[in-house]
């Protein structure tokens, strides 16, 4: 109850919950009682709980050990980081910020291609005509960068660094909220054909919160889930 009250900014009594037979009905009750919570706040809170679910399933992280300032590399070792990062996105059902290449790798690849291009031009410079030299000078600057980007693409499996603005759990929540747009309205099957965007956000938050707090999988929680099965 305390988690629901904190997430939605309202007081919820056990009697109010008992009057709702399903989570869909509880969602309708919360929508009618929705306090001063913006759509962005509802979305961010839902993503917070989804990431908690993902970290629980992928890394075995206890919710009590999560704080906004905890560093991601604490529970994502570099050796298995990419596989775990993909698994986290799948478990949380979110698009996550992409891991990046180490800066040293990008610098080394660029330096190698610039050096190779310089050596190549130097070896053939003496035997080229003036026209060939002018062509080489006009084309040469583009080849290293093209080869550099191609190399980064083919070495994307080595991308294991967190983006510079996504080093902590709080930053991950913020960035995930930024790149995951609010979902379109959808029916909650509670007697209405459609619900507003805020209605859907309320359900998304309740859905994620219930799954995170009770240890259930998100696929096991639906508007038809009986309250008695959860509480």
Write the pLDDT tens digit of every residue in 82-130: 889 999 999 999 999 988 877 777 777 777 777 766 766 666 666 667 7
Q: CA 28 → CA 16, 20, 69, 120, 122, distances in Å?
A: 12, 9, 34, 70, 74
Q: Which residues pair with 69 in a beta bridge?
A: none
Q: Does a structural domain hold residue 163?
A: no
Domain that holds residue 124: 103-158
**Structure-derived torsion over alpha carbons of residues 216, 218, 220, 221, reported in degrees to the nearest 10:** 90
| pTM (two decimals) | 0.72
> 214 and 113 in one domain?
no
Question: How many structural domains are present in the chain?
Answer: 2
How far apart, in whole angstroms, are the C-alpha atoms of residue 67 and residue 56? 14
Nearest alpha-carbon partner for 51 in 92, 4, 84: 92
pLDDT for residue 69: 92
> 173 and 89 in one domain?
yes
Helix, strand and coil in the chain, % to nearest 5? 65, 5, 35
Q: Does a structural domain hold residue 43?
A: yes
Q: Does a structural domain hold residue 108?
A: yes
Query: Does position 30 have pLDDT exceeding 70, yes or no?
Result: yes
């Amino acid at each position: 109850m305390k988690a629901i009250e904190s997430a939605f900014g309202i007081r919820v009594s056990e009697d109010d919950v008992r009057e709702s037979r399903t989570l869909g009905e509880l969602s309708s009750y919360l929508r009618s009682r929705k306090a001063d919570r913006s759509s962005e706040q509802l979305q961010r809170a839902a993503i917070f709980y989804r990431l908690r679910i993902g970290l629980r399933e992928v890394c075995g992280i206890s919710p009590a050990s999560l704080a906004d300032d905890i560093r991601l590399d604490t529970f994502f070792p570099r050796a298995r980081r990419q596989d775990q990062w993909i698994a986290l996105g799948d478990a949380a059902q979110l698009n996550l910020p992409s891991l990046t290449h180490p800066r040293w790798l990008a610098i080394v690849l660029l330096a190698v291609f610039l050096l190779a291009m310089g050596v190549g031009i130097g070896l053939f410079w003496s035997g080229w005509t003036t026209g060939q030299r002018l062509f080489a000078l006009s084309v040469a600057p583009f080849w290293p960068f093209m080869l550099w980007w191609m190399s980064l693409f083919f070495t994307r499996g080595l991308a294991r660094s967190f983006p510079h603005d996504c080093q902590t759990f709080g930053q991950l929540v913020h960035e995930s909220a930024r790149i995951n747009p609010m979902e379109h309205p959808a029916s909650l099957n509670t007697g209405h054909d459609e619900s507003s965007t805020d209605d859907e956000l309320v359900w998304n938050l309740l859905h994620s919160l219930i799954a995170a707090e009770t240890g259930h999988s998100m696929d096991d929680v639906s508007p038809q889930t009986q309250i008695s099965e959860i509480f």
